[in-house]
Amino acid sequence: MLSKLTFATLALAGAASAAVSNGGLKILAPGGDGLWWIAAQQNNVVWTCGESTFPQFTILINNSDTSLLTAITPLIAVEQNYNCNQGIASNLITQPVGTGYTIVLADILNSTNIYAVSDPFEIKALSAGYPPTSNTPVDQASATVSKGTSSNVVGQTGSPTGAGSGSPPAKTGGAPSLRSSSITAGALVGVAAAVAALL
C-alpha cells in the first residue's frame, strides 16, 4: 500500500518543481530548460555518484500530463550507482515530444521508495539536436563524470545522433559493458497500480 507521501512524490515527479534528492543522490541531467532529451534517440541520465549512499537503483520516467505518458515507466531495472551515468537506448525512448517529464530514481525492490527526482525536462524532436555538453553539471565529488559522447547505452550500441552541437555526457575511463533492460511483470503492475490510484 502506498502512503500519501509517496503519492505526492510521484505526482511531483511530473510537475514543475525543484529536484528531489535523498542520501546525496541527485540527478544532474536531464532536467531544466538546458538539458532536454531527443525523441526516439539515445539519451543519458547523469547523477551524483560521488555523494550517493545508495549502491543501486531503478531508473523510471514520469510525467503528470497523462496525454503524454499514462503511467510512470521503468527504463532500467537495476542501475549501479558507481556508473555515474547511463545511456538509454533509442528503443526505450518511446515517449512523445512534450514538456514536464522527470527522471525518477527509486529502490530496486520497492519503486515507491523514491531516492531522487530530476527537474522537469522536455523531450524534443530530432531537429532540435542534443543540448550542448557544457550545459551538463559535473559531479564535483567524483572524477568519473565528464562531458563528451557516450557509449554507455542500455539496449543498443553506437553513439547518439542529432542535429545539435552537443551530445550526451559520458563516464571516463574505459568502455562500459552493455546490458539489456528488464522489468518484471510484478514491478510493472505495482507501478501501474500506484499511478492509477493517483488519477
Q: pLDDT tens digits for 22-65? A: 788 999 999 988 999 999 999 999 999 988 899 999 999 999 99
Residue 130 has pLDDT above 50, yes or no: yes
The SS3 of residue 150 is coil
Q: In the chain, where does DSSP find H-type helix? A: 4-13, 185-198
Query: Using CA atoms, how far apart are residues 99 and 33, in angstroms rounded to an integer?
Result: 10
Residue 124 has pLDDT above 90, yes or no: yes
Query: Using CA atoms, how far apart are residues 134 and 166, in angstroms rounded to an integer?
Result: 8
pTM: 0.67
Domain range for 54: 4-198
Residue 113 grid cell: 521508495
What is the reported pLDDT for 19? 64
Query: Using CA atoms, how far apart are residues 159 and 153, in angstroms rounded to an integer?
Result: 9
160 phi and psi angles, rounded to 5 deg: -70, 150
190 phi and psi angles, rounded to 5 deg: -65, -45
Which of left, alpha, beta for 78 (phi over 0: left; psi -120 to 50: alpha)? beta
pLDDT tens digits, 135-149: 988 877 654 443 333
> What is the number of structural domains in the chain?
1
Residue 6 grid cell: 509517496
- 162, burial (CB in 10 Å: exposed 0-12, middle 13-18, buried 19+): buried
Residue 174 has pLDDT above 80, yes or no: no
Crossing angle of helices 185-198 and 4-13, rounded to 10°: 90
Residue 65 grid cell: 500530463
